[in-house]
Amino acid sequence: MKTEKMPTTPHQWHLFRRLEAAGCPIDWDGLAEPCSPLRVIHEPAALGTEIFPLGDRTALVFRVRIIAAVPFTINWIGLSTDWPRESLSLLGTQDNAGCFRTCCGGEVRLAARGLLNSRIRHRVLRRGEWISGYIALLSGAAAPPCSKKREATLWILDPFDRSYPYDLVLDNSQQIAGDGDNECRFLTADQLAQERAAYLEAEAAKVQQDAELKSRPKKSAFIEFLDQMILDTERENEAAAKKDSKERECTPAADAGHGPLKEGICDKAS
């Protein structure tokens, strides 16, 4: 006789797995695995590590792909870990928000277009539809000791506050080991110095150009009028030359001087 299994929610299933990991025996044969409305794929880290030390703070950045098995509205996302005990806050999506200075000997930059943090809220996914991008969070606690991996749980809530947990394993090497991509990249100290030098050079050239413009004697209204007339005449002559050249290109030529011209591709006034 087949015994009916006890139905469970994704949250309950997650708690049972945590209890088993803590040493509590679980009768899995008597539990029915829940059907989740979403599938979460933890995509490879672009920079190697997904935990970034920021002095007395820490950033967590990881990329996921969320696929809807059924129509689903994402109302909220969050992350929980065995570290830190302090709450994690989602990073803002302003242009300068995704910039971690003095991190791993350089600077980590996140493009706002690649962050799911805000655009995933209240996102409606149709069946089979998916969304991909980075989730970035900040912690007020210092980074944990370096290790190969760190476990975490991504929580996704629907509009009825039903929670769906998804287990993740984050890279905690705290070492840059990748080139990054268009949405998450790392700049070394040398690259930052070159960028700064190029910026200062451009600013100096702009200041010099402004100074030269200001030092030039101001033209009278009549001289400015003549300059504009000359400029307009040059533009008209240039346009006429282009038109004439185009007409010559379109005019068919005789076949090596023998036989009549083919009938007009371009009509030319006699």
Looking at the fold, whether 83 and 181 belong to one and the same domain comes out as yes
Whether the link from the prior residue into 144 is cis, omega within 30° of 0, is no
Q: What does the alpha-carbon distance between residue 254 and residue 263 come to, in Å, rounded to a whole number?
A: 11
Q: What does the alpha-carbon distance between residue 63 and residue 131 come to, in Å, rounded to a whole number?
A: 11
Write out the two tokens for 50. Answer: 């997904």
- Does 130 reside within a domain? yes
User: In sequence order, which ranges of the chain are alpha helices (DSSP H)?
Assistant: 10-21, 189-215, 221-250
Looking at the fold, whether 83 and 139 belong to one and the same domain comes out as yes
Nearest in space to 112 (alpha carbons), one of 122, 123, 99, 98: 98
Element spanning 222, H or E: helix 221-250
Looking at the fold, whether 151 and 50 belong to one and the same domain comes out as yes
Q: What's the pLDDT band for 53 if we cut at 50, 70, 90? A: very high
Q: What does the alpha-carbon distance between residue 201 and residue 260 come to, in Å, rounded to a whole number?
A: 64
Q: How do strand 31-32 and strand 6-7 relate by DSSP bridges? A: parallel
Q: What does the alpha-carbon distance between residue 179 and residue 191 come to, in Å, rounded to a whole number?
A: 13
**For residue 267, pLDDT beyond 50:** no
- Does 99 reside within a domain? yes
Looking at the fold, whether 30 and 154 belong to one and the same domain comes out as no
- Does 209 reside within a domain? no
**Of 129, 156, 188, at which residue does a domain stop?**
188
**For residue 266, pLDDT beyond 60:** no
pTM assigned to the model: 0.66
Write out the two tokens for 77. Answer: 């996302």
Q: What does the alpha-carbon distance between residue 119 and residue 100 come to, in Å, rounded to a whole number?
A: 21
Are 5 and 30 a contacting pair, CB within 8 Å?
A: yes
Q: What is the pLDDT of residue 170?
A: 95
C-alpha torsion sign, points 43, 49, 51, 54: negative
Based on the structure, what is the number of domains in the chain? 2
Q: What is the pLDDT of residue 133?
A: 93
- Helices vs. strands in the chain: H and E counts, helices first: 3, 15
Looking at the fold, whether 105 and 151 belong to one and the same domain comes out as yes
Question: What percent of the chain has a predicted confidence (pLDDT) above 90?
Answer: 28
| Residue 53's CATH number | 2.60.40
Domain that holds residue 165: 38-188
Q: What's the pLDDT band for 97 if we cut at 50, 70, 90? A: low
User: What value does the mean pLDDT take over residues 137-158?
Assistant: 89
Among all chains, which residue has been given the structure tokens 């702009």? 206
> CA-CA distances (angstroms) from residue 220 to 173, 224, 231?
68, 6, 17
Looking at the fold, whether 20 and 151 belong to one and the same domain comes out as no
Looking at the fold, whether 6 and 45 belong to one and the same domain comes out as no
Q: What is the pLDDT of residue 242?
A: 81
